Amino acid sequence: MDWECCWDKSTVTTSDCPNIGEGEEDLLQSQQRRILEKCCDCDRFKHDLARFRDSGNPLAPVLALINTEYRHQKNQIQSLVSFLDNKTLEVRFLHELGSVLQSSVDLDEVLSVALTAITAGKGFGMNRAFLLLFDRNRNLLYGHLAIGPRNYDEAWQAWNEISTTDMDLQTLAQNFRHKKLTTERAKFQDILKQMTFTLDNSDHIFAKTMDSNQPALIEDAFHHPDVDPELARLLGVDTFLLMPLISRNRRVGLIIADNCITHRRISEEDMRSLETFTFPVAFAIERASLYDRLQVELNRVTEAGKKLKEQQEQIVKMEKMALVGRITSSIAHSIRNPLMIIGGFARSVLKNTPETDPKRDFIESIVGEARQMEGVLDEILSYSDALYPAKDFWNVNQMVTATISETSDRLQALGCEISFVPGESLPAIFIDYKQVAYCLKTMIMSAIDGHKGGRIDIRTYGDGDQVIMHVSDTSVRLSQEDLDRLLVPFSTTLELGSGLGLALCKTILDKQGIAFNIRLLPDTGIDYTISFPTRKEE
């Protein structure tokens, strides 16, 4: 019998068998493999089988049965191989995804990876994905981020771009994070800001999905009994997938994915694939959120530590100052009695010394020097007193007016002009009146001491929670070096004399937590700015 198929030939050429294609030339020499791989499916072989059956050979139906069963088994194996290939790809992808997610604690990066994985062609290939995060305090889900095209043109452009580049998931996610995260947020802002859903309503599809901790495929959304029509309208699709993000029984968020552009059917298989993906995503998001909170707490602790250190330094400084204060006070008091006796007796002797007595000059010197030393002692004692302010609420304008009035005689005598512009409706300031008035007096007296003419301008005004007093003194010219020295106790400058003066003012105001800034005005003088609190400190 002449057979149509080449199954009976040990070797064939390509013209003998139409089923052997390029790259399969080895089958030309291997009869057994050719029969199993090609002949069983070949129409010529089927014709030969039919002819064999027609010949009445009892083996013919058996051979046909074996052939049919063989082809069936072969198809099943091919399906399984295809399924396994897909699963292998999926496992590889999930492994890649897991590696990327595990290596990041940055929330934006994790979210970029998650949403890129859902929408990337080599990932789950969905067209669009929304991420809603769970707000534990308010028990609601709110729109946080979305990814995907909004129309066909944009989709075509994006997919074309992706198809021309072969990027792995991490690169795709990094690309998204650095180049598109902000624009995607802005692009979906209108939808995201409408996506706030309370979970108090247990009938809502989101609440049900979160409660079940199972993904849900929503079909015919516009007529679905559990879907809020507003949500369906917002998404604009009738089929979408909901994936709850739950990590260790803690709600993290919800992903909504759909095929808004291609309208490709979402299968149960898609849903199951995505289900395996949600756990690492939820865990990574929770971890990144915790890391964010940890970072915030760490910053607060660092800040608190810094503040504590500053306060410790301040306490040490205050203790040193208190010690200095106690020592200076003790020394000053020990000196005051003998000084008083020297000065007192010198005065007594001076009174009884005739104007013509040549020794009178010496006695006058003793009286003068003793008076000057008593003045220095008063300043030193004021310095130690400054360490213990007694604060209350006072009217700043009244304090300035009273202080100007106290110094007016000396100001007039030296031809120094002074102006005061009081601020209107100022709140009371919380200060030690006596000490702050002393500071203002010191500033005025520093301006006029040893100088004739010049001008002092004082003004007060409100600034938020504070009241500002601004003193501008145009009677002196100082260098920055002189100014720095002036703020150190017991330093001297040629211009502003000796003693404590401004250093004492700074100590007094620092102690009361009042900001005191001194600024040199080029060629014109000094500017003092004092910011008074209007509330009791905590």
Footprint on this chain of another protein (rule: CB under 8 A): 333, 336-337, 339-348, 367, 370-371, 374, 378, 381, 385, 390
User: Can you spell out the DSSP letters for 8-52?
Assistant: T-SS--TTT-TT--TT-GGGGT-HHHHHHHTGGG-HHHHHHHHHH
Minimal distance, residue 430 CB to another protein, in Å? 19
Minimal distance, residue 399 CB to another protein, in Å? 18
Minimal distance, residue 340 CB to another protein, in Å? 5
Q: Which two tokens stand for residue 422?
A: 């009081």
Q: Is 231 helix (H, G, I), strand (E, B) or coil?
A: helix
Compare residues 371 and 519 and give the one whose CB is closer to another protein: 371
Count Cβ atoms within 10 A of the Cβ of residue 376 and give its class: 0-12 exposed, 13-18 middle, 19 or more buried: middle
Minimal distance, residue 371 CB to another protein, in Å? 7
Compare residues 167 and 381 and give the one whose CB is closer to another protein: 381
Minimal distance, residue 367 CB to another protein, in Å? 7
Cα–Cα–Cα angle for 107, 113, 117, rounded to 5 degrees: 150
Distance, in Å, from the CA atom of 134 to the CA atom of 142, rounded to the nearest integer, reads 7
For 277-308, b/e burial (b = at least 16 CB within 10 A) is bbebbbbbbbbbbebeeeeeeeeeeeeeeeee
Compare residues 62 and 341 and give the one whose CB is closer to another protein: 341
Minimal distance, residue 346 CB to another protein, in Å? 7
Distance, in Å, from the CA atom of 88 to the CA atom of 76, rounded to the nearest integer, reads 18
Compare residues 1 and 390 and give the one whose CB is closer to another protein: 390
Minimal distance, residue 444 CB to another protein, in Å? 21
Compare residues 142 and 394 and give the one whose CB is closer to another protein: 394
Compare residues 47 and 333 and give the one whose CB is closer to another protein: 333
Give residue 283's identity as a one-letter amino acid code.
F
Q: Which two tokens stand for residue 29?
A: 């020499």
Minimal distance, residue 353 CB to another protein, in Å? 14
Compare residues 102 and 330 and give the one whose CB is closer to another protein: 330
Compare residues 64 and 342 and give the one whose CB is closer to another protein: 342
Alpha helices for 414-479 (secondary structure H): 433-448
Give the start-end residues of each E strand in 451-536: 455-463, 466-473, 515-521, 525-533
Q: Which long-range contacts (CB under 8 A, 24 or more apart) does 233-237 make?
A: 234/191, 234/194, 234/195, 235/191, 235/260, 236/260, 237/263
Nearest to 235 by CA among 219, 252, 212: 219
